[in-house]
Amino acid sequence: MLPYRKVHNLKCLNYFITYYFLPETNETRGGALSRKYIEIFLRYISDPGFQSGVANDFGIERTTVCKTVDYVVQKIMEKAGQWILFPTTERDLNEAKTSWMAKYRIPTVIGPLDCTHIQVKKSDEQFGGEYINGKNVASLNVQMTCYAMEMITSIDKQWPGSVHDGRIWRQSAVQQKLARFQENACLLGDSGYGISPWLLTT
């Protein structure tokens, strides 16, 4: 059993998420329905891939779980650009560098850069083989950056799993933005990337 204060905070978080992402139905019966959508979504992402368990918990059909998750994901994606923002102003860059320096003692760095593979269904289309990564799994190779406090600042999800991290970086909007900056700022990546004026590697 969770302490009452923690349960209360979780309820507040549920209300906040509902109001922020599903405001158009956040009143009377619609509000209750929106909160149920969020509860189903949060339950699903805590144990992804097992729709039957979510369906049993909420007394609904698996198809309803699928439709609900898709609906909430679309609503989140509609607003993602409002809070996934790469620093572009002098003030934002300086704040990012200050935070990284305070936490990790590395000057000029504004955050880390890395890619991760997100598994997808294998496609039988003409170019489906491009999605097969080095582990013989169909995936997207997704590039992300974040602040020192682990707040995501950019996501590039357009590349199939066979594409190397370095190529994604070289053609990314983030690399182009850093190349235009006059500020002394760079990202931190692993040894899979080549060194550049805007990227330090470990």
The predicted structure's pLDDT at residue 74: 94
Residues 6+ away with beta carbon under 8 Å from 15: 35
pLDDT tens-digit series, residues 82-123? 989 999 899 999 999 999 999 999 999 999 999 999 999 887
4-8, 109-113, 116-120, 167-171: least confident range: 4-8
Q: What share of the chain is helix, strand, coil (3-state, %, to 5)?
A: 50, 20, 30
Q: How confident is the model at residue 49 (pLDDT cuts 50, 70, 90)?
A: low
Contact present, 21 and 75 (Cβ < 8 Å): yes
**Whole-number average pLDDT of the chain:** 87
Tokens of 163: 């594409």
Report the Cα–Cα distance between both ends of the chain, in Å, rounded. Answer: 44
Rounded-to-integer distance, Cα 138 and Cα 133, Å: 6
- 50-70: buried (b, 16+ CB within 10 Å) or exposed (e) per residue? ebeebbeebebeeeebeebbe
Q: How confident is the model at residue 32 (pLDDT cuts 50, 70, 90)?
A: low
Q: 51, 171, 187: which is closest to 108 by C-alpha?
A: 187
Q: What pTM was estimated for this model as a whole?
A: 0.78
Average pLDDT (161-181) is 93
Q: How confident is the model at residue 24 (pLDDT cuts 50, 70, 90)?
A: low
